Amino acid sequence: MKQEIFPVGTPVLATKNVGLVQDGQPGIITSVIEQRFFFFWKRPIYLCTFFGNVKVAMMANEISDFDHGHSMEELEFDQHESLSVAEQMRRIRPLKG
């Protein structure tokens, strides 16, 4: 079974809590790295920028492609500096559907 590799620029949602990234947080893939296991098996590692300018390396099972409608500039810019990322996430949570 060959795993689909998402291209750079794909809008994604986190499907798990990983570090500072919460489940459902929107992001964009900024780079893809192939990690080798054994001699023949490789899997992609995605470098992503998530809402609140959080940059994290994610595995394929930790993200899903979803057109959340946010640009890279919106994800990097803290819209409300007085609010925490968690409070800002509550405002955009309905995007997950």
* DSSP 8-state class, residue 51: T
Separation CA 2–CA 21 (nearest Å): 27
The answer to pTM > 0.95 is no
Cβ neighbours of residue 67 closer than 8 Å, sequence gap 6 or more: 11
Task: Work out the pLDDT band at 12, boundaries 50, 70, 90.
Answer: very high
E strands present in the chain: 11-14, 26-37, 41-50, 54-59, 63-65
* DSSP 8-state class, residue 20: T
Phi and psi at residue 12, in whole multiples of 5°? -135, 165
> pLDDT per residue over 32-72, tens digit each?
998 887 777 888 899 999 988 889 999 999 999 988 888 88
Q: Point out which residues pair with 32 in neighbouring strands.
A: 46
* pLDDT at res. 97: 44
